[in-house]
């Protein structure tokens, strides 16, 4: 599992821009930047939709005011689902990224097998990343939502 002080691995993540699939490399996303990344087990799922994403949407301006270049929401879903979920939640200030096959999530060791619920998914976490290096990571225990929320991240900044 990735830890504080570790560099993020090279991987490609996806988003939709103007209706077109766009593949973004982790180097492009994180090099020479201060980024808040939070990951959820699944778009449109209860805790993710009722608390996790909405918290970051509500505090996006305050988080960015702390010198954060971008806020990224990541899920092992496809880019079409992530775009739709972002639109429903007015997540204009959040980059909604898909880790479609879970490659990045597996590389950092934060994957879980949910079996018939949805297969391989991400555990719930948040990270502060500076120039591609994890400076802080908040990993939730299964079934919990206590340390990866936007308020906790804002306090860390």
Q: For the chain, give every domain's residue range.
A: 12-156
From 13, 48, 53, 59, the catalytic residue: 48
Low-confidence spans in the chain with pLDDT less than 70 = none
Calpha distance 37→31 (Å, rounded): 14
pLDDT at 119: 75
Please state which CATH class domain 12-156 belongs to.
Answer: alpha beta
Q: Please confirm, yes or no, whether 73 is among the known catalytic residues.
A: no
How many Å apart are CA 15 and CA 77, to the nearest integer?
A: 11
Nearest-angstrom CA–CA distance, 133 and 51: 27
The whole-number pLDDT of residue 64 equals 98
Task: Identify the pLDDT of residue 46.
Answer: 87
The pLDDT of residue 33 is 98
Query: In the prediction, which pLDDT does 113 show?
Result: 85
Total-model pTM: 0.96
Instruction: Give the model's pLDDT for residue 18.
Output: 86
């Amino acid at each position: 599992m990735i830890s504080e002080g570790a560099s993020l691995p090279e991987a490609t993540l996806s988003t939709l821009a103007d209706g077109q699939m766009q593949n973004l490399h982790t180097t492009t996303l994180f090099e020479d930047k201060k980024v808040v990344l939070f990951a959820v087990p699944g778009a449109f799922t209860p805790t993710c939709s009722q608390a996790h994403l909405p918290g970051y949407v509500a505090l996006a301006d305050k988080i960015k005011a702390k010198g954060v270049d971008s806020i990224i929401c990541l899920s092992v879903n496809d880019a079409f689902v992530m775009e739709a979920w972002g639109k429903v939640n007015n997540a204009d200030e959040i980059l909604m990224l898909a880790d479609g096959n879970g490659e990045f999530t597996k590389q950092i060791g934060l994957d879980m097998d949910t079996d018939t619920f949805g297969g391989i998914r991400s555990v719930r976490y948040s990270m502060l990343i500076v120039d591609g290096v994890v400076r802080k990571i908040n990993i939730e225990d299964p079934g919990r939502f206590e340390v990866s929320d936007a308020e906790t991240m804002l306090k860390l900044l």
